[in-house]
Structure 1
Amino acid sequence: MPRLGFGTFRMPGGGCQPVVENALALGYRHIDTAEMYQNEEAVGAAIAAFGMAREDLHLTTKVWHENLKPQAMHRALDTSLGKLGVDYVDLYMVHWPSRDMDLGAVLDTLQGFLQEGSVRAIGVCNFNLAMLRAAIDDIGAPIACHQVEYHPFLDQSRMLAYLRGKGIPLVAYAPLAQGRAAADPVLQGIATRHGASAAQVALAWLLEQDGVAAIPKAQRRDSQQSNLDALNVKLDDEDRRAIAALPKHLRYVTPPFAPDWDA
């Protein structure tokens, strides 16, 4: 899984296709979508139009929290594969946990998809630490990664320590704090010293961390290229101290069905 991927949240409908085609043309090879994004068909059309070999692309999609019964999960995966126009996805994830889900049944179903070859790896998103421990330590599910909100204004040290101990990567969504990183004066000051942008500094900070990947979204081609160029930004200890001093309690993705993050 390439550490810098391309997110497609809030890109519904056919307008997503040219955006993803641009990303592929620039060199992105990790595309992240989901049943809930309502753009799997457009993502699939972009992949087909670009004409790349399927094995050269890492493709992720997700099942919505309302579809976590086994039969519903089967229907959801079949629908996603059909819309994407592929025989398998590289990573299939639980998008959000459900309060009434049977975690054992959910993970058994995901492992069934692994065995039949329709998915290459399974993962979860937005699990709190207690849920992760239940899935990995108690049930023993082969979780390949955990996707969760992570950016310079939100501490994920407890989650990272656990995942690193298991050798499981964390995939950061909303890595630019939904655009707020670009306007932060501390990040802007660091960026000025490096001839970069504040958004690039935020991404560089994430990507230099052991076991962290990121999936920023960008609709404009120049923003897509700018995010790729963040791979060339090298921070120093002074930069890291300044970022460490930023507020670390700011969570911006807080739907009513989110779990208790402190559990």
Structure 2
Amino acid sequence: MNATRLQLPTVGLGTMGVDDPAVIETALELGYRHLDTAQIYENEGVVGEGLARALESNAVDRDDVTVATKVWADSLAPEDVRRTTGESLERLGLETVDLLYVHRPIDTYDPETTLPAFDDLVADGLARHVGVSNFTVDELERARGILDSPIAAHQVEYHPLFQPEGLLEHAREHGYPLVGYAPLSGGRVREVDAVVEIAAKHETTPEAVAIAWLASKAGLVTIPKASSRAHLAANLEANGLDLDAEDIGRIDGLERETELFPE
């Protein structure tokens, strides 16, 4: 069993759609220490190149950065898990990936055979931690019963307009972080009256409010995507925005059914 628990910073970098290594390098220079990619994003090479540049310039130490990638749903048969993880490591320029996710429990996913293949990668030193993504509570419980490694993280869509029930509670109960993706509701937070009004009250942006709201929840971390230096910096700084209980309650009470990335 992998005994060390994974510690993730409150704000990391989601890289879906990022196609320039300079974005990754800039993010690391600004202080990001969690980089999230996936096989299906087709940019692991971009992430790896940006990380390599930052390491070469001594902007960051490798041990301080959590690099996460995800095995896509068509590659979850045991032999494909190992083969595609090897290909991911090659693209990333790494010998070991810090966090390896099951991207979605669909298609070729079979918990009885897929999950032991992930355990084997940890045992062989190719991955440090096993994560899952887009699971239900029932799927999480089944995975917990099969894995030798503890679930190190669970990544799900989580933002003011989509607040899935029960998943944060499960993460807290079992001591792993819930990693919320699409925290800005695909840009729609700018159209949510409550978020806009709270932003005006704090003289900040709706995006900063959404990130601060996520950051206020124990056990929840987030991975907003950004490309420009200004937006990268702003997303990090949003972690320091102090929302009061009324602000948090207003966002907690929003209609929660706008899922951007259904299965």
Do they superpose with TM above 0.5? Answer: yes
1:102 aligns with 2:106: no
Alignment of 1:16-95 (within 5 A): 16-51=20-55, 52-95=60-103
In the alignment, what sits opposite 1:9?
Answer: 16
In 1, distance between residues paired with 2:159 and 2:148? Answer: 29
Secondary structure class of the residue paired with 2:68: strand
Secondary structure class of the residue paired with 2:10: coil
In 1, distance between residues paired with 2:68 and 2:260? Answer: 23
Name which of structure 1's ranges 235-244 and 166-175 shifts more when overlaid on structure 2: 235-244
In the alignment, what sits opposite 1:191?
Answer: 199
In the alignment, what sits opposite 2:243?
Answer: 235
Identity %: 38
Q: Is the 8 A contact 1:59 1:91 kept in 2?
A: yes
1:113 aligns with 2:136: no
1:214 aligns with 2:222: yes
The residue identity in structure 2 corresponding to 1:125 is S
Deviations 1:166-217 (A, max 9, x none): 1121000111111111332211110111121111111111111010010000
Q: CA RMSD in A?
A: 1.4
Secondary structure class of the residue paired with 2:179: strand
1:31: Cα distance to partner?
Answer: 0.5
1:138: Cα distance to partner?
Answer: 5.8
Of 139, 142, 147, 1:134 maps to: 142
In the alignment, what sits opposite 1:124?
Answer: 132
1:225 aligns with 2:233: yes
In 2, distance between residues paired with 1:140 and 1:60? Answer: 19
5+ long unaligned stretches in structure 1 = 259-263
TM-score after normalising by structure 2: 0.92
1:167 aligns with 2:171: no
Number of matched residues? Answer: 252
In 2, distance between residues paired with 1:93 and 1:101? Answer: 12
In the alignment, what sits opposite 2:3?
Answer: none
In 2, distance between residues paired with 1:39 and 1:233? Answer: 31
5+ long unaligned stretches in structure 2 = 1-7
1:150 aligns with 2:158: yes
